[in-house]
A and B are shown apart, each in its own frame.
Chain A
C-alpha cells in the first residue's frame, strides 16, 4: 500500500491537515487512528466551546469531532480506524517512509512520501506525579473519566475531588456532575486557578464547587476501595483528610511522543514533543508534526489550525520533490533556505513552539509562537535574544501557567541564520 501523505492520528490536527492536503491536491492522503472512531479527544468532551478559531462557530466536542471526520471523508482522505502504527523502518530522509500498520485486517506495510505525526497528548497519571499512598481503584485522569462517562455510559455516584484548576479540570467537574458525582472541590497547588474567570464563577455559582488553592494531594488512602486523600496546604504544611470516592487527576500534559522518539526524531526538551520549525517540519525531511504533540495542550481549534498549517508545508515539500535537492547535501542536510536555529524558552518560561527557526521559512501557525510559563505575571515583557543581542521586546499581559503566552513572529527576520541559538525570556 502506498500513500502520498500518511497522517498518524485522527484528532483535530490530523483531520484538519487531511482536509487541507486534499484541497491542495496532495494526492492520496491516508489517515490512521488506533481508536475505533475518528475525532480524537473532543469526541468525549461533551461540553460546548469547540470551533471558535477554526470553524468560526461554537460546537460541542462530539459535534466538532463529527464535523471534522465528515469533512475529511468528504475531501477524499482515506481513514483507517482501529489501526495502530506499530513499526517504522527508521525515517528515510530521501523517502519514502516505510511504516507498519496493525489492525484486524492484519499487519500491513505502507510507503508514504511524507508523514504527519498528530498523535496528541495525554494527562500525567497519578503514578507519574509520584503521589504516594495506597493504590485503590477510583483514581483516574480526565481522559479515563470522560471515556467511562460519555463513551461507556458509566455512572459515578459519590464524592469526587478534581486535582487541578485549569480548563480541563472544569471540564472534568462538569463530567463528574453529569455522571452523578458530588464534586467537593477543585484542588490546585498554585495560588489561584488558571482557567477563565467565567468557568470558576460558574463552578462556584451553578455547581457550588470551590477551588481550594495552594493545596496539594499528599497521599491517597484506601485498601481495595478509595477512602479519601490527605491534602496539605503548600504554604503552611497543614494537612487534612478529605473522604471521597473518586479522585480525578487533570491536566499536567505530556505529548504522546512514543512514535516520534522511537523514530529518532530530534526532540525539544521544553515541549517534550519533536522539535519543529515554523513549517512544522521535524528534524527529518518530509516528517511533520502538528497539534498537541508539539504543544501540549492547546485547545482543539488551535491544534486544528496547526494541522492546516502543516498541510501547507507538506504540500510544498511534495511539490519540491521528496528530496528537494537535499539528497545532494547528504540527505539529512538542512532544509532549503539554510540551517535551522534552535529557539528555546528560559525558565520560568517552560517551552516555546515551534522551536526551530529557518531562514526563509514561513511564519509559524497563526503568525505567532506559543509559550508556557510556570509563573503568573500581570505585566511582563518577552525578550528575544541571540548571541547577547536583543532581537525583540514584546509586552505581554496576564501571563498565567497552563495558558498560552503569545509571541508574534515579526522579529524572525532579524535573527542571524549563522548565529547561535535564539532564546526567549521574561524580562
Chain B
C-alpha cells in the first residue's frame, strides 16, 4: 500500500499517467511492460469509469475516419492489435460486421463516397448491397431501406474487460495504481514534476495526460491551455436479450449534413444497443438520461427495427465524449517539459487504444525515455463475460472441480458465486457493486436486481478484500497496489 505516494519518496516515478480510462491504462501497460516505472492516477474508484464504460462498445475498423489523419492511422493499427489482444486475453469480441443502411435517396447517394473513404483508410473489403440482399441479411429491418454498405470487419467488444485487462497487466508488470486521487495541481519542475492529488503528491519525471474529459484542465496545469474539451453527451438504450435475434450485424446510420442518426448494435452480452444521441453540454459529469433523448431513441429504434418496440428495455445510460474543436487526435510530446498530451480521443479511444499506446510510447522513447526493448509479454487471461463463448455455469468439468461455479446468483446474466468470489479476490478488485457489475455482468440483466441485488450486496460486503474495505474507510486511499 505504500510506494511513491508522498514527496518524501526516495525516487520519483519515470512516468505519471493521469487518467485510468482505456487510453491511460493502455499506455500504462505499454510502459510498464518496458520496465518504465509508472503511476496511473485517477479521480474515480476504479479504472475505466468515464467515457470508457459508457459507449457503443464497437471495435471500429476506422473506415469512416478522416483519411490521412492520425486518428485514421492509429485506429487501423489499434483495432488490429486489439482484435489479437482480445482473443488472447479472453476479452469478448464478436466480428458481426456492420451494415451502413441508406433509408433515403440522399443517403444512398452518399454510399459510394463512404466506400471510397473506407478504401482510402485502408479498409478495402467494403462493398454495397441492394435492398433484396439487405432484407435477406436483416429480415426484421423496418420498411423503406434502399440498400447498404457492408463493412465486414466491424466488431462488437466488451468495453469493461478491455481497460481491466490493460490495468491488470500493468499492475503485474510493476505499475502502481492510485485511484480516488483527483489531480488538483501540478508543480512543473526542472528535474521532476510533482502531481498534487487529493491523496498526496506523486513525484515523476514525465507526465502523460490521458485525462479524457478533463484533459484540457490537466493541459492547463502543464502550462498548455491549447484546447478546450466540449463534452458531448450520448444517451443509449439497452434492450433485453430476447431482442438479440432481431439482428445479426451492427446497423449503422449514414451520416449526412442534416442528421447524425443512431445505430442499433448487438452487444457481446447478448443484448441490443440503441443510440447514441449527441448533445453538447457544459457539464463534464452530467451523464443523466433525458426524456427527450430516450423518446427520440425509441422512435428511431421503431423505424430501424420495428419489433424492438415490443421488447423490454433492460437499461438506459449516457456517456460523455471528449470532443475538441479539432477534428483529429491531439497527441504530442514536449521533451523540454517532459510532457505528453493524449487528448481529443472523442469516441474512438477503445478501438484505437493499443495503437495510441504504441504511438505514445514511441514518441516518449524518441524524446529520451528509456525502454527495456523487450518483446511483448502475453496478456493476462481475464474472466470471460461474453455471451458467445462458454461461461462457467455451462462448464460441467469446472463445476465438478468447484461447485461454486454451479451456484447461479444473478439469474438474468447467469453469474455464479464462483465468479463473484474470483472478482473480489482478483488483482484489481472492485470498489463497489458497480465495479463488480463491470467485472462479472452481475445486476446487468432484465430484472435490474429484483432477484439478486440483496444477495449481491451481501456477497460484496462479505467478500470485498481488506484493502478495498480499508480504502473505503480511509476515504481516499488507493484501492489497488502491486503486491
Which residue of A is nearest B418, CB measured?
A: A104
For residue B285, which residues in chain A have a CB less than 8 angstroms away from its CB? 223
B458 lies within 8 A of chain A by Cβ: yes
For residue B298, which residues in chain A have a CB less than 8 angstroms away from its CB? 130
A86 lies within 8 A of chain B by Cβ: yes
Q: A124 to B288, Cβ gap below 8 A? A: no
Determine the distance from Cα of A107 to Cα of B293 in the docked complex, in whole angstroms: 44
Q: B291 to A125, Cβ gap below 8 A? A: no
B:242-297 near A, CB below 8 Å: 242, 285, 287-291, 293-295
**Contact string, A89-126, partner B, CB cutoff 8 A, digits 1/0?**
00000000000001111110000000000000011111
For residue A254, which residues in chain B have a CB less than 8 angstroms away from its CB? 312
A318 lies within 8 A of chain B by Cβ: no
Which residue of A is nearest B242, CB measured?
A: A261
Query: Given A84-B411, A127-B316, are A107 and B453 also a contact pair (CB < 8 Å)?
Result: no
Query: Given A106-B396, A122-B447, A218-B291, are A34 and B411 also a contact pair (CB < 8 Å)?
Result: yes
Q: A107 to B399, Cβ gap below 8 A? A: yes
Distance to closest chain B CB from A266 (angstroms):
15
B400 lies within 8 A of chain A by Cβ: yes
Determine the distance from Cα of A128 to Cα of B446 in the docked complex, in whole angstroms: 8
Query: Given A86-B393, A144-B450, are A258 and B288 also a contact pair (CB < 8 Å)?
Result: no
Q: B393 to A152, Cβ gap below 8 A? A: no
Q: A141 to B313, Cβ gap below 8 A? A: no
Which residue of B is nearest A87, CB measured?
A: B394
Distance to closest chain A CB from B448 (angstroms):
4
For residue B439, which residues in chain A have a CB less than 8 angstroms away from its CB? none
Q: A132 to B293, Cβ gap below 8 A? A: yes
B302 lies within 8 A of chain A by Cβ: no
A367 lies within 8 A of chain B by Cβ: no
A158 lies within 8 A of chain B by Cβ: no
For residue A152, which residues in chain B have a CB less than 8 angstroms away from its CB? 454-455, 457-458
Chain-A contact segment, one of B14-22, B182-190, B210-218, B401-409: B401-409
For residue A148, which residues in chain B have a CB less than 8 angstroms away from its CB? 453-454, 457
For residue B447, which residues in chain A have a CB less than 8 angstroms away from its CB? 122, 125, 141, 143
B:443-478 near A, CB below 8 Å: 446-451, 453-455, 457-458
Determine the distance from Cα of A104 to Cα of B399 in the docked complex, in whole angstroms: 7
B315 lies within 8 A of chain A by Cβ: yes
For residue A147, which residues in chain B have a CB less than 8 angstroms away from its CB? 451, 453-455
B135 lies within 8 A of chain A by Cβ: no
B85 lies within 8 A of chain A by Cβ: no
With beta carbons under 8 angstroms apart, the residue of A82, A123, A258 that contacts B242 is: A258
A391 lies within 8 A of chain B by Cβ: no
Query: Given A105-B403, A135-B317, are A154 and B290 also a contact pair (CB < 8 Å)?
Result: no
B387 lies within 8 A of chain A by Cβ: no
B314 lies within 8 A of chain A by Cβ: yes
Distance to closest chain B CB from A353 (angstroms):
19
For residue B293, which residues in chain A have a CB less than 8 angstroms away from its CB? 132
**Contact string, B227-243, partner A, CB cutoff 8 A, digits 1/0?**
00000000000000110
A133 lies within 8 A of chain B by Cβ: yes
Query: Given A86-B394, A133-B289, A219-B291, are A102 and B406 also a contact pair (CB < 8 Å)?
Result: yes
For residue B242, which residues in chain A have a CB less than 8 angstroms away from its CB? 258, 261-262
Query: Given A84-B408, A106-B400, are A151 and B454 also a contact pair (CB < 8 Å)?
Result: yes
Determine the distance from Cα of A130 to Cα of B297 in the docked complex, in whole angstroms: 11
Determine the distance from Cα of A221 to Cα of B287 in the docked complex, in whole angstroms: 11
A78 lies within 8 A of chain B by Cβ: no
Q: B453 to A132, Cβ gap below 8 A? A: no
How many A residues touch the partner, as a band? 35 or more
Determine the distance from Cα of A221 to Cα of B400 in the docked complex, in whole angstroms: 46
For residue B77, which residues in chain A have a CB less than 8 angstroms away from its CB? none
Distance to closest chain B CB from A1 (angstroms):
14
B180 lies within 8 A of chain A by Cβ: no
Q: B291 to A124, Cβ gap below 8 A? A: no
B176 lies within 8 A of chain A by Cβ: no
Determine the distance from Cα of A316 to Cα of B399 in the docked complex, in whole angstroms: 38
Q: B408 to A34, Cβ gap below 8 A? A: yes
Q: B290 to A132, Cβ gap below 8 A? A: yes
Determine the distance from Cα of A126 to Cα of B457 in the docked complex, in whole angstroms: 19
Determine the distance from Cα of A261 to Cα of B295 in the docked complex, in whole angstroms: 27
Q: A102 to B408, Cβ gap below 8 A? A: yes
For residue A125, which residues in chain B have a CB less than 8 angstroms away from its CB? 447-450
Q: B450 to A122, Cβ gap below 8 A? A: yes
How many chain B residues touch the partner (CB < 8 A)? 43
A134 lies within 8 A of chain B by Cβ: yes
Which residue of B is nearest A148, CB measured?
A: B454
Which residue of B is nearest A84, CB measured?
A: B408
For residue B407, which residues in chain A have a CB less than 8 angstroms away from its CB? 82, 103-104
A:45-82 near B, CB below 8 Å: 82
Determine the distance from Cα of A269 to Cα of B395 in the docked complex, in whole angstroms: 35
B414 lies within 8 A of chain A by Cβ: yes
Determine the distance from Cα of A154 to Cα of B461 in the docked complex, in whole angstroms: 12
Q: A132 to B408, Cβ gap below 8 A? A: no
For residue B450, which residues in chain A have a CB less than 8 angstroms away from its CB? 122-123, 125, 141, 143-144
With beta carbons under 8 angstroms apart, the residue of B314, B394, B403 that contacts A128 is: B314
With beta carbons under 8 angstroms apart, the residue of B294, B393, B448 that contacts A130 is: B294
A140 lies within 8 A of chain B by Cβ: yes
Which residue of B is nearest A134, CB measured?
A: B288
Q: A104 to B403, Cβ gap below 8 A? A: yes
Q: A103 to B312, Cβ gap below 8 A? A: no
Interface hub of B403, B454, B455 (most chain A Cβ within 10 A): B454
Which residue of B is nearest A152, CB measured?
A: B454
Determine the distance from Cα of A128 to Cα of B237 in the docked complex, in whole angstroms: 10
**Contact string, B304-334, partner A, CB cutoff 8 A, digits 1/0?**
0000000011111100000000000000000
For residue B400, which residues in chain A have a CB less than 8 angstroms away from its CB? 106
Which residue of A is nearest B396, CB measured?
A: A107
B:103-119 near A, CB below 8 Å: none
For residue A122, which residues in chain B have a CB less than 8 angstroms away from its CB? 447, 450-451
For residue A126, which residues in chain B have a CB less than 8 angstroms away from its CB? 448
Distance to closest chain B CB from A173 (angstroms):
18
Determine the distance from Cα of A151 to Cα of B454 in the docked complex, in whole angstroms: 8
With beta carbons under 8 angstroms apart, the residue of A107, A127, A261 that contacts B313 is: A127
With beta carbons under 8 angstroms apart, the residue of B395, B451, B457 that contacts A143 is: B451
Determine the distance from Cα of A82 to Cα of B285 in the docked complex, in whole angstroms: 41
For residue A104, which residues in chain B have a CB less than 8 angstroms away from its CB? 399, 403-404, 406-407
> 5 tightest CB-CB pairs across the interface, nearest first?
A125-B448, A104-B403, A147-B454, A143-B450, A104-B406
Known contacts A132-B288, A141-B447, A262-B242; 13 additional CB pairs below 8 A are: A82-B407, A86-B393, A105-B406, A106-B406, A122-B447, A124-B312, A127-B448, A128-B446, A132-B289, A132-B293, A141-B449, A152-B454, A261-B242
16 residue pairs from A and B, CB less than 8 Å apart: A35-B451, A84-B411, A86-B414, A102-B393, A104-B399, A107-B395, A107-B399, A130-B294, A130-B316, A141-B449, A143-B447, A143-B450, A144-B449, A147-B455, A148-B454, A219-B288
* Residues of chain B at the chain A interface (Cβ within 8 Å): 241-242, 285, 287-291, 293-295, 298, 312-317, 393-396, 399-400, 403-404, 406-408, 411, 414, 433, 446-451, 453-455, 457-458
